[in-house]
A and B are shown apart, each in its own frame.
Chain A
Amino acid sequence: MIQQLIFYPLIVQMLLAIVLMFVWSRIGWQRVISIVGSVLNLGVAVWLFISVWQNGTQAVQAGNWEAPFGITFVADTFAATLVLLTAIAGLAVSSFSAGSVISPRLKFGFFPIFHFLLLGLNGAFLTGDIFNLYVWFEIIIITSFVLLTIGGEKAQLEGAVKYFTLNVLASIVFLTAIAVLYGLTGSLNMADLASKVAAVENRTLVQVNALLFLVGFGIKSALFPLYFWLPASYHTPPSAVSAIFGGLLTKVGVYALIRVFTLIFEVDPFLENVLLAIAVLTLFSGAVGAIVQNNIRKIFSYLVICHIGYMIAGLGMMTEAAIAGAIFYIIHDIMVKTNLFMVSGVIYKIKANHNIKKLGDFYADHPKLSLLFAIPLFSLVGIPPLSGFWPKLSLISEGWNTENFAVIAAILFASFITLFVIVKLWGEVFWKTGAKLPEVRNFPYFNKLSKFRKTQMLAPIIFLAFVTLYLGFGAGNIQSLAERIAFELMDNQEYINTVLRK
C-alpha cells in the first residue's frame, strides 16, 4: 500500500468531495468535514514530500498497465513540493471560506466543488501523461467556473463569460497541440515523448507544436498578450475563491510550461528569446496595470500577472540557477498571493469597500491586524530578509551571468513598481485618515460575526504569514530545495528512467 502513496492526495480529495456531496445542504457539517479533511490532506502531502525527498522520484502505473501504454503518475521533487503547497493553501482557504463565505453561497455546493478543484490541482501536478494533464486542466476549469459564478451577481457573470471563453479557447489550443504531438510521435507519456520528440525529423512542425503549447499554457498562466481574462474576473467572486485562484490557478499553467519545456521540448535560442521577451513584457504590463487601479483586488490581480513574469524569466534563461530562482519564486508566490487575497477579504469584511481611495484609518482602528497584514504585503515586495527577496536576487545574478540585461532591467522595474504600489496601498488603506464610510445595510460586518468565525478567518492568515516568514528566514533550506528541483528538471534522466523502469 505504501507504493501507492502518490495516489493518496488524489484519493483523499476525491473522498472528501464525495462525502461533502452527500451532505449537500448541511452547511455546518460541510465546514467541519472540509477543514478536518484538509488537515488530513496536508498530512498526506507532507508524507509524500518526505518520501520523495528521501527516496527520489517515484512513479506508479495506474491500472498496472506498463508505461508508456498506461497512464503514469509521477512524483518528483517538483510535483511533491507543489502538492504540499496546494495542501497548505487548501487548508488555509478551507478555513477562511468556512468563516467568510456567506451561507446562501455555501448552499450551492461551495465545499464539494472546492475540493474537486484541489483534486484537479493535485492531479495536474502528479500526472505523467500529457492527455491526462489535459483532463486535469479541464477539471480545474470546470470547477473554477462554478466557484466563480456561485452567487450570480452581475459582475461575477460578466467576469465568468470572459474567463470561460479564454480558458476554453486555451484548452482547445492545448488539445490541438496534443493532437499534433500524437500524430508526430504516437505517444502521450511525457517521459516517452522526451526521446521520441528529439527523434522527429520534421523540426519545423515540432517548433510550431512547442509554440502551440506555449499559447495554450500561456493563456492559463496569464502571460503578456493573453492575460486579459484575469483582471476582468479575479476581483468578482468572494475573497476565499480569489485566494485559491490567485495563489494556485496561474501557477498550474507555469508548472505545465516548465514541465513541457524542460522535459519534452528542448528550448532552442528562438524559443528562449520568445520566452524572455514575453517575460519582460509581462513584468512591464502587469506592473503598469497595478499602478492605475484603485480596487484592492484588482491591484493584486495585476500583481499576479506581473509576478508570473519572474517565473517565465527564470524559465527563459534556461540555466539551472535561473530555474532554481523561478521555482523559489513559485513557492513564495503561492503562499503570499493566497494570503493577500484573504487579507483583502478581511479588509472588505471590516470596511465593506474595496476602493483604496475611500478606505483609510485601518492602522488607527486595528493596529494588531495591520501589523499582521504587513507581513504578506512586504514579503511580496521582497524587502530583505522577507521571502520575495531571495528568488529575485538569484534571478538577477543569473541574468547578469547570461548577459540578459533587459531581463534584469525589467525585474528591477517590476520590483520597484511593486514596492510603489504596496507603499501606496499601505498609505491609502492603513495610514490615511479616511472619510467615514456609509453603513451598508444587511452586510455581514466583521465585528458582528461570532468569535469563532473571526478565528476561522484570521487563523489561516496568521498560519500563512508564519509560512512566509519561514520562507524568508529559512531561505537556505528553500534554496537547496529549489536547486534540487532545478537539477532534476535539467537532468531529466532520473524522471525518464523511473517512469519507463529502465
Chain B
Amino acid sequence: MKTLILRTASNYMLPLLLVFSVFILLRGHYLPGGGFVGGLIASIAFVLHAFANGLGDTRKLLKFHPGFLMPAGLSVAFLSGISPIIFTGEPLMTGIWYPDSLPIVGNLGSALFFDIGVYLVVLGVTLTIIFSISESA
C-alpha cells in the first residue's frame, strides 16, 4: 500500500488528526467526545501513517515503545482518581475544580486529568495491539 498519494497525504494527516484528537479530548466534558474517542482518533493517525509508510517508520517517529503509554496514562488517571482522598478528604474520584475558567481548555478539574489518562491508555493499548498483530502477520 505504499502509494505516493497516501504517503504524502498521511504526512499531513498525522498532525492534523492529532490536533483533532486533542480537540475531541478537551470538549469531552460537556459535549460528545472525551478521552476514549480522542485516544482512538490519535491511534488511527498513527495507524494510517503505518499503512502508508510501513511499521518501521512509524516506530521511528514515535521514538518510544507505545506500551510505555499504558502505565503512564494509568498513573495520570490513578493520581487524579485518588487526589480527592489526599487533598480534600472526599471519596475516590470526586471532582476537584479550579474555580476560574481558562481559555481553550475550559474548566480545569481532576476529571480532565482522568480523561488525559484514559487518552494515553487507549492510545498505548491500541497501538500495542495493532503493532503486535501486524508485526507477526
Are chains A and B touching directly in their complex (CB below 8 angstroms)? yes
Once the chains are docked, how many angstroms separate the CA of A4 from the CA of B93?
Answer: 11
Residues of chain A within 8 A of B84, CB atoms compared: 64
Inter-subunit contact B91/A60 (CB<8 Å): yes
Find A7's partner among B67, B74, B75, B91 (CB 8 Å cutoff). Answer: B91
Please give, as numbers and ranges, the residues of chain B lying within 8 Å of A490 by CB-CB distance.
Answer: none
Is B82 part of the binding interface, using a Cβ–Cβ cutoff of 8 Å?
Answer: yes
A191 to B119, CA, bound (A): 33
Contact A24 B67, CB 8 Å, known A61-B91, A63-B95, A64-B90: yes
A10 contacts across to B, CB distance below 8 A: 92
- Kindly report which residue of chain A lies nearest to residue B82, judged by CB atoms: A11
A63's partner among B67, B75, B93 (CB-CB below 8 A) is B93
Interface size classification for chain A: 10 to 19
Q: A20-53: contact bitstring with B at CB < 8 Å (1 yes, 0 no)? A: 0110100000000000000000000000000000
B residues near A60, Cβ cutoff 8 Å: 91-92
Interface string of B68-110 (1 = CB under 8 A from A): 0011001100100010110001111111000000000000000
Distance A139 CA – B68 CA, assembled complex (angstroms) = 20
B71 touches A18 (CB 8 A): yes
Nearest CB of B to A139, in Å: 13
CA distance A22 to B85 in the complex (A): 24
Q: Which residues of the partner chain A approach B78 to less than 8 Å between Cβ atoms?
A: 14-15, 18
The residue in A3, A10, A61, A63 that gathers the most chain B C-beta atoms within 10 A of its C-beta is A63
**Contact (Cβ within 8 A) A22 B71:** yes
Q: Which residues of chain B are within 8 angstroms of A449 by Cβ–Cβ distance?
A: none
* Interface status of A1 (Cβ within 8 A of chain B): yes
Nearest chain A CB to B124's CB is how many angstroms away? Answer: 10
Residues of B within 8 A of A274 (CB): none
Judge if A198 is at the interface, Cβ distance under 8 Å. no
B85 touches A7 (CB 8 A): yes
B85 pairs with A21, CB closer than 8 A:
no
A14-B78, A15-B78, A18-B75 known; A62+B92 contact, CB < 8 A: yes
Which A residue's beta carbon lies closest to that of B85? A4
> Chain A residues near B94 (CB, 8 Å)?
63-64
**With A4-B85, A7-B85 in contact, is A63–B92 under 8 Å at CB?**
yes
Q: What's the nearest-Cβ distance from chain A to residue B96, in Å? A: 11
Interface string of B45-82 (1 = CB under 8 A from A): 00000000000000000000001001100110010001
Whole-angstrom distance between the Cβ of B65 and the nearest chain A Cβ: 9
Closest to B111 in A: A63
Measured CB to CB, the nearest residue on chain A to B70 is A21
Q: How near does chain B come to A375, taking the closest CB pair, in angstroms?
A: 40
Residues of B close to A15: CB separation below 8 A: 78
Alpha-carbon distance between A64 and B89 when the two chains are bound, in angstroms: 11
Chain B residues positioned under 8 Å from A61 (CB to CB):
91
The distance in angstroms between the C-alpha atoms of A61 and B84, with both chains bound, is 13
Contact indicator A62/B71 (Cβ below 8 Å): no
Question: CA of A17 to CA of B89 in the docked complex: distance in angstroms?
Answer: 24
Pair B71/A1 contact, Cβ less than 8 Å: no
- Expressed in whole angstroms, the Cα–Cα distance for A10 and B75 within the complex equals 14
B92 touches A1 (CB 8 A): no
C-alpha spacing A184/B71, complex, angstroms: 40
Measured CA separation A3–B88 after assembly (Å): 12
With A1-B85, A4-B85, A15-B78 known as contacts, the answer to whether A64 contacts B71 (CB < 8 A) is no
B102 CB to closest chain A CB (Å) equals 23
Q: How far is the CB of A413 from chain B (nearest CB, A)?
A: 48
- Please give, as numbers and ranges, the residues of chain A lying within 8 Å of B71 by CB-CB distance: 18, 21-22, 24
12 A-B pairs, CB-CB below 8 angstroms? A3-B89, A4-B89, A4-B91, A4-B92, A11-B82, A14-B78, A18-B75, A21-B70, A21-B74, A22-B71, A60-B91, A60-B92
Known pairs A4-B89, A7-B92, A17-B74; list 12 more (Cβ under 8 Å): A3-B89, A3-B91, A7-B85, A11-B92, A18-B71, A18-B78, A22-B71, A60-B91, A60-B92, A62-B92, A62-B93, A63-B95
The 4 A-B pairs of least Cβ separation, nearest first, read: A21-B71, A64-B94, A63-B93, A7-B92
